[in-house]
Amino acid sequence: MLTRTIPSTGEALPVIGLGTWENFDVSGKPAKLAAVLDTLFAAGGRVIDSSPMYGKAEAAVGALLADRPAAKSFLATKVWTQGEKQGVVEMNRSFELMGTRRLDLMQVHNLLDWRVHLKTMQAWKEAGRIRYLGITHYTASAHAELESVMRAAPWDFVQLNYSLEERGAEDHLLPLARERGIAVIVNRPFGGGGLIRNLRKQPLPGWAGELGCSSWAEILLKFILAHPSVTCAIPGTGEPAHMADIVKAGEGPLPTAEQHKRMLSLLA
């Protein structure tokens, strides 16, 4: 799988990861979810993104990874509460649920009380409990606030929405991330889901083969990865076959300028 560099350290990160919203909100260790993780790891992927907001997802990830001690995962989760004390309680709980003493990435979910949580996160980073600090949001309406927060502190990561049908991040956020040396994780890579459902009703364009794409999911992910500011995309799935399709987007060529224009014409 292709990799991109985390600007703050130079560490290489695979370009396709996994989001756990909804699909991992389950009890136990379902075989399908185990197969999803195995497929991601087999392809060279490492990033698994979760949140306390996602119900039982952190616990499900922790349980599944406990059976895979050799897996080289990059664990990312979030703090989603108000107040310093409650933030500490929630973040400690995430460590426990995910079965780790050190998290690769802790993010402030949807910017909630970010100034308060940043102080704790910075202290924990200095102590070695957290490797990277980040902020997240998933709506275009929050982009102006997200831009302001990106300028306000030395973040390692920003997580934001970006897709063929949600391109607002191109205007300011993606250039700003490149300027400030912030790695970018893309959520909602298929937009609201309606785009890919509609595209799947159509045959693949003839030029898909030039990119090594055999599905619409690959095309939409390659569109995202064509932007030089993007570090990793985290589509969510609970289906092993879908995961096997998704990881292919991290292999082979990325779109040229001409191919990028063809992708944009899909929405014309």
Across the chain, which distance is largest between two alpha carbons, in Å? 56
State the helix-helix crossing angle for 57-66 and 84-98, rounded to 10 degrees. Answer: 30
pTM: 0.97
For residues 116 and 47, give the distance between their C-alpha atoms in angstroms, rounded to a whole number: 26
CA–CA separation, 78 and 229 (whole Å):
22
Give me the tens of pLDDT residue by residue for the chain, a chain 268 residues long: 999 999 999 999 999 999 999 999 999 999 999 999 999 999 999 999 999 999 999 999 999 999 999 899 999 999 999 999 999 999 999 999 999 999 999 999 999 999 999 999 999 999 999 999 999 999 999 999 999 999 999 999 999 999 999 999 999 999 999 999 999 999 999 987 788 888 988 999 999 999 999 999 999 999 999 999 999 999 999 999 999 999 999 999 999 999 999 999 988 7
Find all residues with CB under 8 Å of 254, minimum gap 6, and list them. 2, 211, 222, 225, 226
Residue 184 bridge partners (DSSP): 158
The CA-to-CA distance between both ends of the chain, in Å, stands at 31
Which residues lie below 8 Å from residue 172, measured CB to CB, with a gap of 6+? Answer: 143, 147
Closest Cα to residue 17, out of 42, 40, 51, 50?
40
Q: In the CATH scheme, what is the code of domain 3-267? A: 3.20.20.100
Residues 6+ apart with CB under 8 A from 179: none
| Rounded distance between C-alpha atoms, residue 249 and residue 140, angstroms | 25
Domain residue limits, the chain: 3-267
